[in-house]
Amino acid sequence: MDKSLVDAFGRQIEYVRLSVTDRCDLRCTYCLPRGYRDFAEPGDWLTFDEIERVMRVFTGVGVRRVRLTGGEPLTRHNLTELAARLHALPRLEDLSLSTNGVQLRKHAHALRQAGVQRVNIGLGSLRPGRFSAITGGRLDRVLEGLAAAKEAGMHPIKINMVVMKGINDDEIEDMVQFCIERGFTLRLIETMPMGATGRTAAEHYLDLQAVRQRLAETFDLLPAVMPGGGPARYMQISGTNLKIGFITPLSQHFCETCNRVRLAADGTLYLCLGQNDKVELRPLLRQGISDAELEETLRAAIARKPKKHEFREQPQKIVRFMSKTGG
Ligand SMILES: C[S@@+](CC[C@H](N)C(=O)[O-])C[C@H]1O[C@@H](n2cnc3c(N)ncnc32)[C@H](O)[C@@H]1O
Ligand code: SF4
């Protein structure tokens, strides 16, 4: 029997974004509302044993890459232990982390030791006041986290900048310089209408095709390839090592090459970031489903993976926040 997961559109699924919590220690304007507390109960989170089991079955049918995400994954107690357990799965080739960086200083080294090779860090501004206005948090802590990740030998380190017109689009060139100086990769992201926060942020939507043209006026941009680059289309600035990824779900969607699904902290398997199709794995796991049945459930789920998101056609469709799905 074929041991890979292929959906109805011929896309091979080899990547799982694993949200370990929907909670977060920041409140980015485009993601989580200030004062929001309606989170999943910890008793409803998949345990580390349950996560490891689902991922073992997933790796048995071709998944090779896992990204730990959230919410803020570093707010989940003992994340390093989970990382080590996933890293020990024989067929897993790549374990990475998406974090806001706030608590990274104290965890970077242990995470690297546990097998987390690469890290993506959300950073919307290099100006302390503006950073705080966007996230509710402190920039210095994120900068310390970034330095710690570098010191721990994580590579590549990618900066995720959600670009918002009139909010931080005047900082893109500064961010380019910051990343050149430190050897980071830059990923510019278009706002997505996920939940009420995402829709409000979408009022500041900026088409990144225009940003690319703007950057080309200052820098000599060459097409580039980034191993594991996923949906970002990369350019390199000539004469530097800087690669810039453009994540353009709205202006130029990349659904035809989608290779991923998302497992939320409560065990909901979302088949597409921008659709509501899902399978609840937690009840099945807690009712004693066998590994063979779990594999069958995953196959049936992948067969239902939607063709594409409809962020443009139906911007009201997704009521859950990005932090719930695992961005
Ligand atoms: C949900 S966060 C989870 C990981 C971690 N807390 C972080 O901020 O990197 C993952 C990514 O989603 C992005 N994100 C959240 N809401 C978004 C939105 N409405 N549109 C575009 N990107 C969004 C964040 O900027 C971040 O890069
Ligand atoms: S983008 Fe990340 S850091 Fe910001 S609120 Fe969402 S989960 Fe938290």
Mean pLDDT (whole number) for 308-313: 82
Q: Does residue 229 carry a pLDDT above 60?
A: no
- From the CA of 323, give the closest atom in ligand 2: 7
Pairing state of beta strands 233-237 and 118-122? Answer: unpaired
Q: What is the pTM of this model?
A: 0.95
- The string of pLDDT tens digits covering residues 283-309 is 999 999 999 999 999 999 999 998 888
Q: Which of 227, 226, 275 is nearest to 249 (CA)?
A: 275
**Ligand positioned closest to the Cα atom of 137:** 2
Q: Residue 188 CA: which ligand is closest? A: 1
d(CA 236, CA 212): 11
The pLDDT assigned to 228 comes to: 60
Does ligand 2 come within 6 angstroms of the Cβ of 28? yes
Mutate to test the pocket of ligand 2, among 19, 31, 191, 320 (most ligand atoms within 8 A of CB): 31
The predicted-structure confidence for 70-82, as pLDDT tens digits, reads as follows 999 999 999 999 9
CA angle 165/171/173 to nearest 5° reads 120
Residue of the CA atom closest to atom 19 of ligand 1: 198
Give me the pLDDT at residue 157, please.
98
Q: Which ligand is nearest to the CA of 194?
A: 1
Residues with CB under 6 A from ligand 1: 24, 30-31, 69-70, 72, 98-100, 122, 160, 162, 189, 191-192, 194, 198, 201, 322-323, 327
Ligand 2 atom index nearest CA of 102: 3
Residue 279, C-beta contacts closer than 8 angstroms, at least 6 positions apart: 268, 269, 271, 297, 300, 301
Task: Please write the tens of the pLDDT for every residue from 21-55.
Answer: 999 999 999 999 988 888 999 999 999 999 999 99
Task: Check if 124 has its Cβ closer than 6 Å to any atom of ligand 2.
Answer: no
DSSP 6: B
Digit-coded pLDDT (tens) for 234-261: 999 999 999 999 998 888 878 888 999 9
pLDDT tens string 46-59:
999 999 999 999 99
pLDDT for the residue 273: 85
Evaluate whether 186 touches 245 at the Cβ level (below 8 Å). Answer: yes
Three-state DSSP at 259 gives: coil
From 100, 142, 162, 168, mutation site for ligand 2 pocket: most ligand atoms within 8 A of C-beta: 100
Q: Say if residue 275's pLDDT is above 90.
A: no
pLDDT of the residue at 196: 83
CA of 128 to the centre of ligand 1 (A): 19
Q: What is the pLDDT of residues 170-181, one digit of tens each?
A: 999 999 999 999
Q: Whose CA is nearest to atom 24 of ligand 1?
A: 122
Mean pLDDT value across residues 263-275: 93
Does the C-beta of 114 come closer than 6 Å to ligand 2? no
Exposure string of 167-195, with b = 16+ CB inside 10 Å and e = fewer, is bbbebbeebbebbbeeebbbbbbbbbbbb
Angle at alpha carbon of residue 117, lines to 324 and 156, rounded to 5°: 90
Quote the percentage of the chain above a pLDDT of 90.
77
Residue 84 clears pLDDT 90, i.e. is over it = yes
How far apart are the C-alpha atoms of 290 and 284, rounded to whole Å?
Answer: 9
